[in-house]
Structure 1
């Protein structure tokens, strides 16, 4: 389920994005970005609708993922059917 990022307390949203950035381990090429820059990048992706905050009832956790990945997972038939 998508959680509208605008409805998340700003401090909580920052902590969520920071946690996501710290565990993602993305290579940024020759020029490494600071943690603050990475957090800003993810926030901009949320603002543009390129990324979404997702709550998983099955795993009882919250995550950030590309909207395209969420859409692809949502269209995959469940194995329980």
Structure 2
């Protein structure tokens, strides 16, 4: 059995503007539209995710095992790295 490869952080500034928008858009669409008691507009959610990436609270991650891209919190990324290296 092959050992799984650790996730790779992709710096947001290494992506084109269109690619970054696509990653954010895909994430927001997958998250759905149920945000609790108050509905959040799609454009607002896009801006919120963009700010979280800019602040470094959320990182773009490439998973070489599934060949997919995800947005995760910095804390979640650290946990993924630890479990992949265990």
Structure 1 unaligned regions, length at least 5: none
RMSD: 1.6
The count of aligned residue pairs is 79
Higher relative contact order (CA 8 A, sep 6+): 2
User: TM-score normalised to the size of structure 1?
Assistant: 0.86
- Tell me if structure 2 keeps the 8 A contact 1:18–1:35: no
* Cα shift readout 1:3-61 (whole Å, capped 9, x = no counterpart): 00011111111111011011013642222111111111111110111000001111111
User: TM-score normalised to the size of structure 2?
Assistant: 0.82
